[in-house]
Structure 1
Amino acid sequence: MKTLAEVDALADRAHAGQVDKTGVPYVEHVRAVAAGLAPLGTHLAMAGLLHDVVEDTDWTAERLRADGIPDRVVALVEAVTNRADLTYEEKIRRITADPEATLVKIADNAHNSRADRSAALPPDQRERLAAKYRAARAVLWPAADPDRIATILRVVNPDLLAELDGRSPDIGTPS
């Protein structure tokens, strides 16, 4: 079985040369997602490091398994990977069927929602993405344990804690 350090090195190689929408090396995004998931378990941190590798690189789920990535980690990666046959909204609803995949997507959403990341985007893109991520949280958060969400947010995006505190843990709507 791969160690977390080995999975980090794999993610670094897989995303080599890629940058996010603001020009930051893409591996920094997956590392931030993994950092939020690390308190919840090594396999979740591994899934955080690899959550975009099938979607954004030439790596496949089969190649990950052949390289020694645990089946459960690969299953989480597959669960959060975009598919051409699903809209984003359908993907988010599908993710909530797996509680751990939901946590991976919550960490991804939280990092994508950071004000310091979106500040460099044009206002129209920033507003469109903010609305997309808010709508996703409205589906994801009710499907997860509020304490686990808070654990992720404290690391990845503490600004969202106020939003979490203002929601009912049972239905995910304002109290």
Structure 2
Amino acid sequence: MATLTVAEVDALAARAHAGQVDKIGVPYIEHVRAVGRALAPLGGELEMAGLLHDVIEDTDWTAEHLLEAGVPRTVVDLVQAVTKRPGVPYDEMIRQVAADPPACLLKIADNAHNSLPERGAQLPQEQRARLAAKYAAARRVLWPAVERAQVEAIVRQVNPALLPELGA
């Protein structure tokens, strides 16, 4: 089977997330596309992983389905690295992701987009505060695990409001 292009992976992600909306009612595909765009300068495989990063977690697609569809193994491995697993606490998953530089970059882009002020502003205060603390704690683990220039490039693209936290 031929390997999919970025455009074909985008179409696959759009089909997989069809009808889904995020916590504030925005079509979910907008989130994964924002993560993919942030990673595009770092290469096609990271861009594809950005587009697919929630497919296994939030749809009926499995890693095997992705491979059968022609998604490169390296992309599927990245998606699996950032996918929540039963019994693995979030902070432990973040530590595991931080040990894998490409997966770390993917999670940084996801975290930055999830931390956009306008996304959180529409959530109830308690949920907004809980998520903000969770994402900030993850950044303290993820950001030092990769090159600062890469973190800055991703944050500048996805969520410039985080730049002061980075010291940029």
- TM-score range (shorter-chain normalised) is over 0.9
1:78 lines up with 2:80 in the alignment? yes
Q: Which of 64, 88, 91 pairs up with 1:89?
A: 91
2:71 aligned counterpart, secondary structure: coil
- Counterpart code for 1:117: R
1:150 lines up with 2:116 in the alignment? no
Provide the C-alpha distance between the structure 2 equivalents of 1:70 and 1:145, rounded to a whole number of angstroms. 25
1:3-152 superposed matches below 5 A: 3-152=5-154
1:22 aligned counterpart, secondary structure: coil
Please report how far the alpha carbon of residue 96 of structure 1 lies from its aligned counterpart in structure 2 after TM superposition.
Answer: 1.2
Two-structure CA RMSD over aligned residues (Å): 0.7
Provide the C-alpha distance between the structure 2 equivalents of 1:114 and 1:54, rounded to a whole number of angstroms. 23
With structure 2 as the length reference, what TM-score do the two structures score?
0.97
Please report how far the alpha carbon of residue 123 of structure 1 lies from its aligned counterpart in structure 2 after TM superposition.
Answer: 0.7
Please report how far the alpha carbon of residue 165 of structure 1 lies from its aligned counterpart in structure 2 after TM superposition.
Answer: 1.4
- Work out the number of aligned pairs and report it: 166
Provide the C-alpha distance between the structure 1 equivalents of 2:131 and 2:87, rounded to a whole number of angstroms. 21
Q: Deviations over 1:60-93 (max 9, x none)?
A: 0011001000010000000000001200001100
Provide the C-alpha distance between the structure 1 equivalents of 2:91 and 2:16, rounded to a whole number of angstroms. 27
Q: Deviations over 1:17-67 (max 9, x none)?
A: 100000000010000001110111110000000000000000000110010
Aligned to 1:163: 165
Moved over 2 A (4+): none
Q: Deviations over 1:91-136 (max 9, x none)?
A: 1001112100000000000000000100000111100100000000
- Counterpart code for 1:57: T
Provide the C-alpha distance between the structure 1 equivalents of 2:5 and 2:59, rounded to a whole number of angstroms. 21
1:55 aligned counterpart, secondary structure: helix
Provide the C-alpha distance between the structure 1 equivalents of 2:150 and 2:159, rounded to a whole number of angstroms. 13
With structure 1 as the length reference, what TM-score do the two structures score?
0.93
Instruction: Tell me the percent identity.
Output: 64
Provide the C-alpha distance between the structure 2 equivalents of 1:39 and 1:165, rounded to a whole number of angstroms. 22
